[in-house]
Amino acid sequence: MYIGVDLVKIKRWEKIIEKYPERLKKIFTTEEIEHCEKKGRKKAESYAALWGAREAAGKALGIGLQGATWQDAYVTWTNLGAPVLHLKGEFKRRATQMGIKTMAMSISHEDNLSITVVVLGR
């Protein structure tokens, strides 16, 4: 079992959204952006969580973001709204090399913080 955790300041993402909105398309998928933008005032919270998912996935894989693109980990949602982690590119190659068969992710927010935990299993 491999675990990655990332803690993100939501206010940092408020600033990024305001100052560099064009960067969002380089980091997040179209579906992720649409999901976050629907959140209105809480969109920074959602962007922070999705960034945390990428960081936590990289940590669980033992490579951080080294050799990966920002979209090598991305999130979709079930009909009930639960986040589902997906890997591609360098992250998928590394997961295959490690024999990863299962992935689980949990996201939580409190005040100015978002935390994401990724658990990978063989």
Locate tokens 């080294």: which residue?
66
The SS3 of residue 42 is helix
Instruction: Give residue 23's pLDDT.
Output: 96
Residue 55 among known ligand-binding residues:
yes
| Averaged pLDDT score across all residues of the chain | 97
- Tell me the residue type at 104: A
Region 54-62 average pLDDT: 98
Instruction: Give residue 103's pLDDT.
Output: 98
Q: Which fold has domain 2-121?
A: Ribosomal Protein L22; Chain A (3.90.470)
Instruction: Give residue 30's pLDDT.
Output: 98
Instruction: Give residue 81's pLDDT.
Output: 93
With contact defined as beta carbons under 8 Å apart, do 58 and 71 qualify?
no
Band (55; pLDDT cuts 50, 70, 90): very high
Residue 14 among known ligand-binding residues:
no
Compute the Cα dihedral for 102, 2, 104, 74 and give only its sign: negative
